[in-house]
A and B are shown apart, each in its own frame.
Chain A
């Protein structure tokens, strides 16, 4: 089905006079890649928008003295990549007026590569604070930015959107928050208790991941990818390894694929358990918080027992998995999954029966389906607001093509719906895990990766926050030339700014928790 519409869009391009070059159709499988001329960039994107495609990612790479830009879109599980080549200093037309979520990725690309965007209404810096100068671009050439003054000055002059009026006041929060949380800045404008606007300023944990990836071998890349966002270490390392395997045409053995999926589902369950508890706790219902964090601890202990690491870091490696489980391990896995299923079911029932919880979470932080679609929200954020895309179901990769993945969906879009999606997903994931254990057959768990070969690949997996897209280009020695992991948080953070409007300031923590974007995953 996705084939059909990809052909269709190509015909539409032709009808609109947009020439496409398709000389390496298999360049970025499973996506179809079409190269277009720079001047066709915005018109082609507009056409995609007309066809109701979801915009998913934007990244660039150096190509000689110029730049090659990529934009990834999706519909019905079929991925389209538009690319274009720009000469030195040649600007690209902004597509943020068509897809607002492209705004920050474009600003990120500008801050690191110096690519200029025409017609972008917001041209403020995004990832760059004060660690490098406005005219320095760390990912260009050697990109040796001048040593910043030590200590690096704080970025206290970021031009936030202002609101005026005698009753409007501002609340500045962060980067250091009260609690064990990642850093970032939130700027609220409020009238009385009501938030009228929220703007975020991220980039505080930018530590140069895209630059650090350069020149690494594949094992080094996997280690780095596993540290893009620690809570999604399995999903990110899977996406990066998948990209490397596609670049080098390696098919990991079936056993490795199943073990990867088991780990990914365990990661999903662990995070959902923790977050449902935290959402309840944020509105003063501590009981589920302690119960669910107890279950989460049991789960991560089993991770350590079965896979040798509580978060399963560095267990997914290029070519397969770093660790296998024996039949005893598989039995234990099956048994503890079953036990968890029954415990979770009991707890969810209690949570769902709590009227006062319902009262606090329903209608709070509502993201309308229209906004969710406009922003391209992913994972539980999208699924709670009518956008139920799931890579595992809609563009299945091994081993998900062997099972049926149920995807929950609601349209209420409030905190309650997002929590409900997570509760539903826990049950579904546990079922999948049992199925994967049953499917396990003896065999290899890792294949060697060919050395000294170049290539290009795209990894697309569904992490617990939603779709992760990782782009990888290897040079002819097989070393990383360009790595860009697109965490789902890029598309979910803007939703928070939308849904908080009209809510009261004290509800911000619970709204924020219900989105739970990754700062590290976006800041890179």
Chain B
């Protein structure tokens, strides 16, 4: 055990090397300020893959790596839709996921935000509408914000959240 801590301590350079990124350094304080102002310091997101190719999930995951560590700014991903302020949806909505997506949305306290993340969620992307796919998220749920990209990078996702919080009220429904 001691040996392990020793090792961790000695490889300390890997942990302590600051993950610097000019773009994120600039976006981060803004994100923190907005989350503090609009969500009293805590923005809870429920993420639902409604039919994605799983590329979008990789980038959403990346928001939690030490470079972005988005929880530092009060943004966190929650398991229950009942705890969530925003629903982050990826993928075209497959017909087989339609009911589950709607049920997740209905379980959320209102008002809440719906974010369509990725080209597929924004406009159907490479898949569009067909016998198995409903296409864009807005064909199924009212959408507050679209974050384009295939997949949107972590920085694009953070910029998207900033835009969302800048627009104050969720869309009327």
Q: Which residues of A contact B (CB under 8 A)?
A: 129-132, 138, 143-145, 148, 150-155, 175-176, 178-183, 203-209, 211-212, 223-224, 227-231, 233, 274, 287, 290-291, 293-294, 296-297, 300, 304, 310-311, 313, 343, 346-347, 349-350, 353-356, 518-520, 523
**What are 27 A-to-B residue pairs whose CB atoms are below 8 Å?**
A129-B96, A151-B99, A154-B100, A155-B96, A176-B100, A178-B79, A180-B47, A180-B60, A180-B77, A181-B57, A182-B52, A183-B50, A204-B97, A205-B94, A207-B130, A211-B130, A212-B127, A227-B126, A229-B53, A230-B53, A231-B54, A287-B8, A297-B19, A304-B153, A349-B7, A350-B8, A350-B11
Contact A205 to B91, CB < 8 A, known contacts A181-B57, A297-B67, A311-B151: yes
User: Are B14 and A353 interface neighbours, CB within 8 A?
Assistant: no
Chain A residues whose CB sits within 8 angstroms of the CB of B122 once the complex forms: none
User: Are A227 and B4 interface neighbours, CB within 8 A?
Assistant: no
Choice from A179, A294, A300 contacting B14 with Cβ under 8 Å: A294
Question: How would residues 11 to 29 of chain B score, 1 for a CB under 8 Å from any chain A CB and 0 otherwise?
Answer: 1001100010000000000
Chain A residues whose CB sits within 8 angstroms of the CB of B92 once the complex forms: 207
Contact A355 to B102, CB < 8 A, known contacts A152-B95, A211-B130, A350-B7: no
User: Are B104 and A151 interface neighbours, CB within 8 A?
Assistant: no
Choice from A148, A204, A296 contacting B65 with Cβ under 8 Å: A296
Q: Closest B residue to A310 by CB, please name it.
A: B153
Secondary structure type dominating chain A contacts: loop
Interface size class of B (residues with CB under 8 A): 35 or more
Chain B residues whose CB sits within 8 angstroms of the CB of A224 once the complex forms: 126
Q: Which residues of B contact A (CB under 8 A)?
A: 1, 3-4, 7-8, 11, 14-15, 19, 47-62, 64-67, 77, 79-80, 91-92, 94-100, 102-104, 125-128, 130-134, 140, 150-151, 153
User: Are B53 and A227 interface neighbours, CB within 8 A?
Assistant: yes
A358 to chain B, nearest CB (A): 11
| Closest 7 pairs (CB-CB, A-B) | A230-B55, A178-B79, A154-B99, A131-B95, A208-B132, A293-B65, A230-B53
User: Are A138 and B131 interface neighbours, CB within 8 A?
Assistant: yes
Most buried by B among A152, A154, A223, A347: A152
User: Are A229 and B54 interface neighbours, CB within 8 A?
Assistant: yes
Chain B residues whose CB sits within 8 angstroms of the CB of A313 once the complex forms: 55, 150
B52 to chain A, nearest CB (A): 7
Query: How many angstroms between the C-alpha atoms of A272 and B130 in the bound complex?
Result: 34
User: Are A311 and B58 interface neighbours, CB within 8 A?
Assistant: yes
Query: How many angstroms between the C-alpha atoms of A139 and B103 in the bound complex?
Result: 30
Query: How many angstroms between the C-alpha atoms of A175 and B62 in the bound complex?
Result: 23
User: Are B55 and A291 interface neighbours, CB within 8 A?
Assistant: no
Query: How many angstroms between the C-alpha atoms of A433 and B140 in the bound complex?
Result: 44
User: Are A293 and B66 interface neighbours, CB within 8 A?
Assistant: yes
Chain A residues whose CB sits within 8 angstroms of the CB of B153 once the complex forms: 304, 310
Query: How many angstroms between the C-alpha atoms of A343 and B15 in the bound complex?
Result: 12
Query: How many angstroms between the C-alpha atoms of A231 and B127 in the bound complex?
Result: 17
Query: How many angstroms between the C-alpha atoms of A131 and B92 in the bound complex?
Result: 15
User: Are A205 and B127 interface neighbours, CB within 8 A?
Assistant: no
User: Are B58 and A519 interface neighbours, CB within 8 A?
Assistant: no
User: Are A175 and B100 interface neighbours, CB within 8 A?
Assistant: yes
User: Are A519 and B54 interface neighbours, CB within 8 A?
Assistant: yes
Chain A residues whose CB sits within 8 angstroms of the CB of B50 once the complex forms: 183
Chain A residues whose CB sits within 8 angstroms of the CB of B77 once the complex forms: 179-180
Query: How many angstroms between the C-alpha atoms of A73 and B123 in the bound complex?
Result: 40
User: Are A206 and B94 interface neighbours, CB within 8 A?
Assistant: yes
User: Are B57 and A151 interface neighbours, CB within 8 A?
Assistant: no
User: Are A207 and B51 interface neighbours, CB within 8 A?
Assistant: yes
Choice from B47, B55, B64, B104 contacting A227 with Cβ under 8 Å: B55
User: Are A148 and B95 interface neighbours, CB within 8 A?
Assistant: yes
Query: How many angstroms between the C-alpha atoms of A304 and B21 in the bound complex?
Result: 14
Query: How many angstroms between the C-alpha atoms of A428 and B173 in the bound complex?
Result: 54
A174 to chain B, nearest CB (A): 8
A450 to chain B, nearest CB (A): 25
A284 to chain B, nearest CB (A): 14
Contact A145 to B131, CB < 8 A, known contacts A175-B100, A290-B66: yes
User: Are A205 and B96 interface neighbours, CB within 8 A?
Assistant: yes
B65 to chain A, nearest CB (A): 4
A351 to chain B, nearest CB (A): 9
Contact A297 to B62, CB < 8 A, known contacts A131-B131, A208-B131: yes
Q: Closest B residue to A311 by CB, please name it.
A: B55
Q: Closest A residue to B7 by CB, please name it.
A: A350
A464 to chain B, nearest CB (A): 13
Q: Closest A residue to B47 by CB, please name it.
A: A180
Query: How many angstroms between the C-alpha atoms of A205 and B133 in the bound complex?
Result: 9
Chain B residues whose CB sits within 8 angstroms of the CB of A155 once the complex forms: 96
User: Are A293 and B54 interface neighbours, CB within 8 A?
Assistant: no
User: Are B133 and A208 interface neighbours, CB within 8 A?
Assistant: yes
Query: How many angstroms between the C-alpha atoms of A349 and B102 in the bound complex?
Result: 46
Query: How many angstroms between the C-alpha atoms of A304 and B8 in the bound complex?
Result: 30
User: Are B131 and A204 interface neighbours, CB within 8 A?
Assistant: no
Chain A residues whose CB sits within 8 angstroms of the CB of B49 once the complex forms: 180-183, 205
Chain B residues whose CB sits within 8 angstroms of the CB of A346 once the complex forms: 11, 14
Chain A residues whose CB sits within 8 angstroms of the CB of B80 once the complex forms: 178
B31 to chain A, nearest CB (A): 18
A87 to chain B, nearest CB (A): 26
